[in-house]
Structure 1
Amino acid sequence: MTIRAVMFDFSGTLFRLEQNESWLHHLTDAEGEPLDLEAQTELMRRMTAPTGKVVELSEEYQYAWENRDLDPALHRKIYLEVLRRSGVPKAEQAEALYGRLVDPGEWTPYPDTEAALKDCAGKGIKVGVLSNIAFDIRPAFTRRGLDQYVDSFVLSFEEGAIKPDPAIFQILLDRLAADPEETLMVGDSAEADGGARALGCAFALVDPLPTSERADALVASLRGHGVL
């Protein structure tokens, strides 16, 4: 099979929200004690987990969690609740941390993100970015000049569908004018991103490790499928 189009997930695949001491060190628990490194790391995991339940939630908040990537208001509501239940009881601290989550400038590209996007585009392969997300990630690409290698962005909150619903993969396939049998989906969630397989796409799984610990997973995935 010849791959003529590649769809990439955003969080944990092309970019990662990194643990940054400059905006975590001031966080305190209910007793006013600083959150230790383990608690900070778990906090970051909960803020970027693609699927699954990260805290126990009431019915109201469970609905917000399940639909967070379709509605910015629900996204804000549920993540402030997740932060509160994760040991950040002070509203001002939670608001500040949430602001970092939805700021594209705070997200860090993986070391081989540029090479993966640029090499695909250079070979005439159509490139799309498909994300379950409730804020615009395009500025994360434009500020680094990476947008020039992306043919189309499909974001769940703009389309009213979330992965693994085949409908959102089909939207991007249509915009890329790509056949699923000639398309590779690269993502960090077998459950969400792997939904592309239902349409006949190939799928490559990458580990959402810190950027300092994952140097070439994207390029390796592309090579493994004969793209590069």
Structure 2
Amino acid sequence: MQDLLKFRYFFLVLCLISCRDDPKKALDVPEGNGSKENIVVEETSEKVILFFGDSLTAGYGLELEEAFPALIQDRLDSLGLNYTVINSGLSGETTSGGRNRLNWVLNQKVDVFVLELGANDGLRGIPISETHKNLQAMIDLVRKKNVDTQIVLAGMQIPPNMGPEYTTEFRKIFPKLAEENQIALIPFLLEGVAGIPELNLEDGIHPTPEGHQIVRNNVWAVLQQVLQ
């Protein structure tokens, strides 16, 4: 119970959800993992790590404690590190939708901001320039809110459905942004999980609990360096 209380979730009010792009053909389904994100706003002396993303962050199809942000919280607790993880993942989110809701999410102090968005853009064939622009705008807003916030960008790749040129250019967005902004990069969030049937749900896209454990390791490999 104590761990669940420590791991805080946002409940995104209807006005924010209405800002979201049409979730059809998206990585996620509109209702996410079948449970609402909860919001607990309270003062804390602990440092905050905020995961801002789509259903991969929200843990679509799983219990909340099985998603990789909760697993990161478990790792932090086991090491005695004084951080609170906040999962602000929203199913169906694109970079445009994330850009629209980010200002509200940043109404609290954030020490580490992990940006995991773009997969739904790629699956919809949204222009590369648009995705790049939205991600850059979110990075800029985080820094505007608090120049000391450390930013981690989660790299993403997509299947070749949109053609090899688009797929290649999409993959390049993330290392390019990381280099341009001198921020930490998780090379590919789903490394070791994507394309492996037994590590994904029946949709072939969203990781199983075992898949999220691997994603946790991918994230932790970069995040632990940032925390040091």
Same fold (TM over 0.5): no
**Larger RCO (alpha carbons 8 Å, 6+ apart):** 1
TM-score (norm 2): 0.36
Larger radius of gyration: 1
